[in-house]
A and B are shown apart, each in its own frame.
Chain A
Amino acid sequence: MSGGRFGIHGGQYIPETLMNAVLELEEAYNHYKRDPDFNRELTELFNEYAGRPSRLYYARRMTEDLGGAKIYLKREDLNHTGAHKINNVLGQVLLAKKMGKTRVIAETGAGQHGVATATAAALMDMECEVFMGKEDTERQALNVYRMRLLGAKVHAVESGTATLKDAVSETMREWTNRIADTHYVLGSVMGPHPFPTIVRDFQAVISREIKEQLKEKEGRLPDAVLACVGGGSNAIGSFYHFIEEKGVQLIGCEAAGRGIDTAETAATISTGRLGIFHGMKSYFCQDEYGQIAPVYSISAGLDYPGVGPEHAYLHDTGRAEYVPVTDSEAVDAFEYLSRTEGIIPAIESAHAVAYARKLAPSMRRDQILVITISGRGDKDCAAIARYRGEDIHE
Chain B
Amino acid sequence: MNKRIAEAFAHGKAFIPFITCGDPSLEITEQLVYACGEAGADLVELGIPFSDPTAEGPVIQAANMRALSGGTTTDKILEMVERIRKNTQLPLAFMTYANVVFSYHKGDETADSGTECFVKRAAQAGIDGLILPDVPFEEKEEFGGVCRKYGIDLISLIAPTSEDRIARIAREAEGFVYCVSSLGVTGMRAEITTDVGAMVGLVKQEKDIPCAVGFGISTPEQAKEMAACSDGAIVGSAIVRLCETYGRDCVPPVREYVRKMKEAVKELS
Contacts and interface: CB of A to CB of B under 8 A. Distances in A.
Interface residues on A, range: 35 or more
Given A17-B161, A276-B98, A176 B183 contact: yes
Interface string B180-196: 10011100000000000
Contacts of B74: 289-290
Interface string B116-152: 0000000000000000011111110000000000000
A291 B138 contact: no
A278 B54 contact: yes
A176 B184 contact: yes
A64 to B, nearest CB: 48
B50 A291 contact: yes
B65 interface: yes
A273 B103 contact: yes
B109 interface: no
B100 A290 contact: yes
Question: Which of B73, B105, B185 has the most chain A CB atoms closer than 10 A to its own CB?
Answer: B185
B165 A20 contact: yes
Interface residues of B, number: 43
Interface string B157-170: 11111110100010
B105 A13 contact: no
A3 interface: yes
Contacts of A279: 134
B55 interface: yes
A2 to B, nearest CB: 11
A314 interface: no
Interface of A: 3, 11-21, 159-160, 165-166, 169, 172-173, 176-179, 273-279, 281, 284, 286, 288-292
Interface of B: 50-52, 54-55, 57-58, 61, 65, 68, 73-75, 97-105, 114, 133-139, 157-163, 165, 169, 180, 183-185
Give me the 9 closest cross-chain CB pairs, A-B, nearest first. Answer: A290-B103, A177-B184, A17-B159, A276-B98, A290-B99, A291-B51, A16-B159, A292-B51, A16-B157
23 contacts: A12-B136, A12-B139, A14-B136, A15-B136, A15-B159, A16-B133, A16-B137, A16-B159, A16-B180, A17-B180, A18-B161, A19-B162, A19-B165, A160-B61, A173-B54, A173-B55, A173-B185, A177-B183, A177-B184, A276-B134, A278-B52, A279-B134, A281-B102
